[in-house]
Amino acid sequence: MLIEKVKTLKTISSSLLSISLETRNNALIAIEENLLKNIPFILEENKKDLDDAKDISNSLYKRLILTQDKIKEIVDGIKSVRSLKDPLGNIQMERELDKGLVLTRFSVPIGVIGVIFESRPDALVQISSLFVKSGNCGILKGGKEALHTNRALFSIIKDSLNSVDITLGKSLELAESREDIKELLKLDDYIDLMIPRGGNSLVQYIKENTKIPVMGHTDGICHLFMDKDGDIEMGLKLTRDSKCQYPAVCNAIETLLVDKHIAKEFLPKVKTVLEKEGVELRGCSKTLEVININSATEEDWDTEYNDYILSIKVVENLDEAMQHINSHGSGHTDCIVTKNMDNWNRFLMNVDSASVYLNASTRFADGNRYGFGAEVGISTNKIHSRGPVGLEGLTIYKYKLVGNGDIVADYAEGKKKFTHKDIL
Amino acid sequence: MLIEKVKTLKTISSSLLSISLETRNNALIAIEENLLKNIPFILEENKKDLDDAKDISNSLYKRLILTQDKIKEIVDGIKSVRSLKDPLGNIQMERELDKGLVLTRFSVPIGVIGVIFESRPDALVQISSLFVKSGNCGILKGGKEALHTNRALFSIIKDSLNSVDITLGKSLELAESREDIKELLKLDDYIDLMIPRGGNSLVQYIKENTKIPVMGHTDGICHLFMDKDGDIEMGLKLTRDSKCQYPAVCNAIETLLVDKHIAKEFLPKVKTVLEKEGVELRGCSKTLEVININSATEEDWDTEYNDYILSIKVVENLDEAMQHINSHGSGHTDCIVTKNMDNWNRFLMNVDSASVYLNASTRFADGNRYGFGAEVGISTNKIHSRGPVGLEGLTIYKYKLVGNGDIVADYAEGKKKFTHKDIL
């Protein structure tokens, strides 16, 4: 029964903080070694999934394929997680409340986390290694298309953990069926956080059907705003990269906003550059006055194309651009192209997004590029973690207070006074 | 309409980050001055509530009463919030991704927060001042018993904010009816966080009826564990303070755990000390072998008495104590009394609570005692904020990336490499 598995995770989760960094890293080494040792077995199981894969899209099929090289890449990913500094036990605050009464706050694992991800089997390994490193218990649900591959990978991970530490061996569990998801979502007494990694509809479904806190993003509607004081060539280069470098992902832009003062000069060049890349352009009425492209509807401003399509809107000024971003964007990543530092500062302060950029491609919004080593996901939440989430997002803190028989009555009655002196 | 008010809050929330600390503090000064100027008006309105108060408990009635001194105390509370350092704009990370491409993370307000609190009118002022200081928009719903008082206080706050900054003047709204709560809970598109401050049933109701993240605690089941290596006199002193100094609050203990090796010596003294304070004791079978008190049922271990009642359990050892705390506790605050540093370390690492104490009263778990200046509430969540929550808990962060036309393609194609050099 899934609930029994999850209850066990909850029970053992409190003991993971005591597992040393060395043991956690040794467990990661064991996973690395055993994955490499078992490449033929993994590829065999992967082939079963590929043979079964009939009604899935081409891109899904591609992501399902494992090769020897791909497995080596996955192992490199574990190594990079292993090389990260310990996310646990970091002292965030140390304060003398009074003489001999010291309060310390330090990072600890969140506890039990449920992750639901789609067909990519490399996600299973990446998430497992992040959880081992951060001392979290995980219940992992992969896509059914990758059933055999996931089982093979998971059995190798589980055996590796067990060979190093019996508690770590119990810290990860696999869920397999669609019914399992429904059951998971009810277990708010045992699961501290749900992380759905997948398309809009998955994330929306999870958010609507559980009391467990959810970390993730439903949409990635990112913007690039070409300010009147922006460099034209830079604007073209950044628009092209932000849209075309990899359009299927959440940090690609969906809408280009252009200040009206620069529209006549900028838009024809945008048309030339983007049409060469095969991008379909959809413009507002003012855009259509300058270039001959399809017209955009109101719906376009709220649409994540994830494809070679870009909507374009001419705005009166910076204010209209910011207003548009805050009302139609998803709070993910938005960029201004400008040489005007006042405009940049206003954009930075007023655009309510996780990542706000000056003269840089929105495609940089990613855990690896931010130097987090590995990415748990990208969050558009406004609490806990925002933007690309690394290991730190899998931790919370605990307060430790060390006294010597100190009682509150002494302070309430005025016999003693707090000093509140920061040590750290 | 409430929804219109909340939509407006959402719209203006993005502009609050630009309001300087000086303006925010000036707004707090205006509130302080106007509250003091309007003491007769406030007391008059408060009297209406007191006259209307028929079917409420004595303790609720007491908390409803305002006096000139009480209002001065409330004003002192605002001053202490004003004296806190700016929670916004604090740089948490600064990293060169590559030459001339710098990523910075800094603290920003969460956005729009809904607070539901019970009858204490001082809560309205405290929350408002925390929100002004942290640049958050708030929709506040107080208890219906304090309707006139809350309206009076809120109108003074609103006028004060408007006199200093028109945007700040729009940042707080009052909700008044029970229907308003229902409506608020549906507005997950506009409200980023709900903070219920009240009893279990209120918090439970909120958690069960909204998709908005909720910060709060449902239970405060705290423990004190008397280790076999604990000092008897210290154990008695801490037990008395943790239970009796103010039993009606969440950080008072509900259960005393006693190592069996020390039970015969410790328990009779506990009985003497606590019965003198009027505490009803309920013990497990092993406790009853030592002292003559009422017997505890299984239910007692999961009950927050908030009263002069204490359940007592004799345990085999530290492990059983930790197991009991992790399965019956609420993750709030738990203390071990011991001179054995190994036991303390195991307790610290394995007890999964927000605050874990050595030889100190659980009653210290409080924002003011921790030196936070003011307390938003206490959280038993495992994400965002845990334990006593101060101003920091009302913030999240934003990433700023400053480039000079940098594109991802250069890195994907191997033309450039990230340096990932931490500046801060």
Residue A108, beta-bridge partner list: A396
**CA–CA separation, B180 vs A147, rounded Å?**
47
**CA–CA separation, A77 vs A46, rounded Å?**
19
**CA–CA separation, A358 vs A242, rounded Å?**
13
Which residues on chain A are in Cβ contact (under 8 Å) with B14? Answer: 322, 326, 350-352
Which residues on chain B are in Cβ contact (under 8 Å) with A418? Answer: 369, 371
Mark yes or no for CB contact B398/A383 under 8 Å: no
Q: Is B207 within 8 Å of chain A by CB?
A: yes
Q: Is B346 within 8 Å of chain A by CB?
A: yes
pLDDT in the model for residue B376: 86
Mean pLDDT, rounded, for A213-227:
91
pLDDT in the model for residue A207: 87
The model's confidence at residue A374, banded by pLDDT at 50, 70 and 90, is confident
Q: Give residues with Cβ within 8 angstroms of A329, minimum separation 6.
A: A221, A222, A223, A351, A353
Which residues on chain A are in Cβ contact (under 8 Å) with B252? Answer: none
By three-state DSSP, how is residue A68 classified? Answer: helix
383-412 in chain B: CB under 8 A from chain A = 383-384, 386-388, 396-409, 411-412
Mark yes or no for CB contact B399/A354 under 8 Å: yes
Q: Which regions of A24-111 does DSSP assign to beta strands (E)?
A: 91-98, 101-109
In this structure, what token pair is assigned to residue B170? 């729009």
What angle do helix axes B341-350 and B318-328 make, rounded to 10 degrees? 20
**CA–CA separation, B144 vs B47, rounded Å?**
14
Residue A272 pLDDT greater than 90, yes or no: yes
pLDDT in tens, A43-70: 999 999 999 987 888 878 888 999 999 9
Q: What is the 3-state secondary structure (H, E, C) of chain B?
A: CHHHHHHHHHHHHCCHHHCCHHHHHHHHHHHHHHHHHCHHHHHHHHHHHHHHCCCCCHHHHHHHCCCHHHHHHHHHHHHHHHHCCCCCCCEEEEEEEECCEEEEEEEEECCEEEEEECCCHHHHHHHHHHHHHHCCEEEEECCHHHHHHHHHHHHHHHHHHHHHCHHHHCCEEEECCHHHHHHHHHCCCCCCEEEEECCHHHHHHHHHCCCCCECCCCCCCEEEEECCCCCHHHHHHHHHHHHHCCCCCCCCEEEEEEEHHHHHHHHHHHHHHHHHCCCEEEECHHHHCCCCCEECCHHHHHCCCCCCEEEEEEECCHHHHHHHHHHHCCCCEEEEECCCHHHHHHHHHHCCCCEEEEEECHHHCCCCCCCCCCCCEEECCCCCCCEEECHHHHEEEEEEEEEEEECCHHHHCCCCCCCCEECC
What's the whole-number average pLDDT of chain A?
A: 95
Which residues on chain A are in Cβ contact (under 8 Å) with B356? Answer: 398-401
Mark yes or no for CB contact B356/A398 under 8 Å: yes
**CA–CA separation, B131 vs A289, rounded Å?**
46
Q: Which residues of B140-157 are buried (b: 16+ CB within 10 A; e: fewer)?
A: bbbbebbbbbbbbbbebb
Averaged over successive runs of 10 residues, the pLDDT of chain B (424 residues) comes to 95 96 98 98 97 85 93 95 96 97 98 90 93 98 93 98 98 92 94 90 88 86 98 98 95 98 98 98 98 98 96 98 97 98 98 98 96 87 94 97 98 96 90
pLDDT in the model for residue B345: 98
Residue A208 pLDDT greater than 90, yes or no: no
The shortest C-alpha distance from A357 to chain B (Å) reads 5
Which residues on chain A are in Cβ contact (under 8 Å) with B371? Answer: 95, 97, 103, 418, 420
In this structure, what token pair is assigned to residue B403? 């480039």
Q: Is A207 within 8 Å of chain B by CB?
A: yes
**CA–CA separation, B54 vs A295, rounded Å?**
65
Under 8 Å between Cβ of A380 and A203? no
Mark yes or no for CB contact A405/B352 under 8 Å: no
**CA–CA separation, A35 vs B30, rounded Å?**
65
pLDDT in tens, A147-206: 999 999 999 999 999 999 999 999 999 998 889 999 999 999 999 999 998 878 888 889
Nearest CA in chain B to A232: B405
> Is A28 or A204 the better-scoring residue by pLDDT?
A28
Mark yes or no for CB contact B352/A14 under 8 Å: yes
The model's confidence at residue A219, banded by pLDDT at 50, 70 and 90, is confident
| Overall residue count recorded for chain B in this entry | 424
Least confident of A283-297, A310-324, B237-251, B367-381: B367-381
By three-state DSSP, how is residue A379 classified? Answer: strand
Under 8 Å between Cβ of B62 and B172? no
Mark yes or no for CB contact A408/B363 under 8 Å: yes
Mean pLDDT, rounded, for A282-311:
97
pLDDT in the model for residue A233: 98
Least confident of A6-15, A116-125, B238-247: A116-125
By three-state DSSP, how is residue A359 classified? Answer: strand
Nearest CA in chain A to B252: A408
Domain A222-364: give its CATH code: 3.40.309.10
- Residue A416: its H or E element: none
Cβ-Cβ contacts under 8 Å between A and B: the total is: 234
Mark yes or no for CB contact A350/B18 under 8 Å: yes
pLDDT in the model for residue A204: 86
Under 8 Å between Cβ of B114 and B139? yes
Domain with CATH 3.40.309.10 in chain A: 222-364
pLDDT in the model for residue A216: 84
Which residues on chain A are in Cβ contact (under 8 Å) with B95? Answer: 370-371
**CA–CA separation, A156 vs A172, rounded Å?**
12
Q: Is A247 within 8 Å of chain B by CB?
A: no
Domain with CATH 3.40.605.10 in chain B: 2-215+376-398
Residue A16 pLDDT greater than 80, yes or no: yes
Mark yes or no for CB contact A406/B349 under 8 Å: no
Which residues on chain A are in Cβ contact (under 8 Å) with B325? Answer: none
The shortest C-alpha distance from B138 to chain A (Å) reads 15
pLDDT in the model for residue B208: 87
Residue A401 pLDDT greater than 80, yes or no: yes
pLDDT in tens, A79-114: 999 999 999 999 999 999 999 999 999 999 999 999
pLDDT in the model for residue B124: 94
- Residue A280: its H or E element: strand A280-283
Residue among A264, A289, A9, A277 at smallest CA distance from A131: A9
By three-state DSSP, how is residue A277 classified? Answer: coil
pLDDT in the model for residue A186: 95
pLDDT in the model for residue B46: 97
Which residues on chain B are in Cβ contact (under 8 Å) with A17? Answer: 349-350
In this structure, what token pair is assigned to residue A313? 């809107």
pLDDT in the model for residue B56: 83
Domain B2-215+376-398: give its CATH code: 3.40.605.10
Q: Considering the entire predicted model, what is its pTM? A: 0.94
